[in-house]
A = this chain, B = another copy of it.
Amino acid sequence: MTTPLVIAVDAMGSDGAPGPDVAGAVAAVREAPLEVELCGDGPRLEAELARLGARHERAVRVIHAPEVVTMDDHPAQAFRAKRASSLRVAIDRVKSGAAAAVMSAGNSGAVLAHALFVLGRSRGVERPALVTVFPTTAGPLTLCDVGANVEPRPSMLAQFGVLGAAYDRVVHGRSRPRVGLLANGTEAGKGTELTRAAAPLLAAAAARGDFRYVGYVEGSGIWDGAVDVVATDGFTGNVVLKACEGVATALFGLVRQRLTATPRAKLGGALVAPALRDLGRRIDFAETGGALLAGVDGVVVIAHGRSDTTAIKNAVTLAGRFARADLATKIAAAVRAAVAA
């Protein structure tokens, strides 16, 4: 039998908090062998639970935290000034060992700062990075970093490839993932000063680690199955992630529009609706849940601020999967292997 894992949830994190945060966490424990600790304003969280008929849900506990880190808060200042925030209390639960993972849909800079200051970097890791996964026709594609480090040094960028490869091995089970460096062309002379300096470092890490470095990949390489893992700086990764989400959303809108434009298309649209809904779920990034903050001593999952109940549910479930796989420990071990001389 599977022992329930405890996930600490920053229940005041999302743009619509605490509604989606509480409902998503409750939905998660009803589907998976998890327990959640909802950290935040006690009375408000109890009221949300009552509204959901979940006040006596055995797998849900409320931990009162009177303060909230907002999107406008400066990450490090929030850490110093708001010691009783929902985010801080949730991260402390992981530090103390009471929880196996933490999930927050709040200010991602603040989540990063709190994770760094409370949990600390894994040994050998220069900078923790955000890892996310794109569902492609060729299988899952791991992208790292998508926003934690906007202007990394070359050694950090090379490590994002190492972190992404470790994630891919553990989560997707590929034994020697192919790792590429995102650039404006595949020739070695392309890229920036940063990517040209990172490329040989990543190649050297590949020679020591359990992955292959395949060189530069273009933006299209994310989608065409040429690689399993793409390493990039947090600025480019963030822009690409959001641009791809944007084009996917826009395309589905256009498809829907066209499928109701004529009586013939309408009839066809009704027939294909189930297939398209199924497809929509598969490529809906909200369905894949959150991004892992890789390289800290603990499992930290960051969800979109815009997350709805489904997205939160999936992010909490993902945090549970990551904790059960002992992902943080395995990633740390892979980094140590790749950086060892």
Q: What band does the interface of chain A fall in when counting residues whose beta carbon is under 8 Å from B?
A: 35 or more
Interface-facing stretch out of A13-21, A251-259, A332-340:
A251-259
Distance between A130 CB and nearest chain B CB, rounded to angstroms: 11
A276 at the B interface (CB under 8 A):
yes
| A238: nearest chain-B partner, CB-CB | B184
Flag if B193 contacts A151 (CB, 8 Å).
yes
Flag if A184 contacts B239 (CB, 8 Å).
yes
Flag if A275 contacts B258 (CB, 8 Å).
yes
Interface residues of A in 190-232 (CB under 8 A from B): 190-193, 218-224, 232
A170 at the B interface (CB under 8 A):
no
**A289 partner residues in chain B, CB cutoff 8 A:** none
Interface majority SS (helix, strand, loop, mixed), chain A: helix
**A243 partner residues in chain B, CB cutoff 8 A:** 219-220, 222-223, 240, 243-244
Inter-chain CA distance A267–B267, complex, in Å, is 10
Flag if A259 contacts B242 (CB, 8 Å).
no
Once A219-B246, A220-B245, A223-B247 are accepted as A-B contacts, the answer to whether A255 and B235 lie under 8 Å apart by CB is no
A182 at the B interface (CB under 8 A):
yes
A241 at the B interface (CB under 8 A):
yes
Which residue of B184, B247, B261 is within 8 Å of A147 (Cβ)? B184
Distance between A236 CB and nearest chain B CB, rounded to angstroms: 6
**A283 partner residues in chain B, CB cutoff 8 A:** 251, 254
A271 at the B interface (CB under 8 A):
yes
Once A253-B137, A268-B272, A271-B271 are accepted as A-B contacts, the answer to whether A184 and B235 lie under 8 Å apart by CB is yes
| A263: nearest chain-B partner, CB-CB | B271
**A137 partner residues in chain B, CB cutoff 8 A:** 250, 253-254, 257
Q: What 0/1 pattern do residues 282 to 325 of A give for CB contact below 8 A with B? A: 11000000000000000000000000000000000000000000
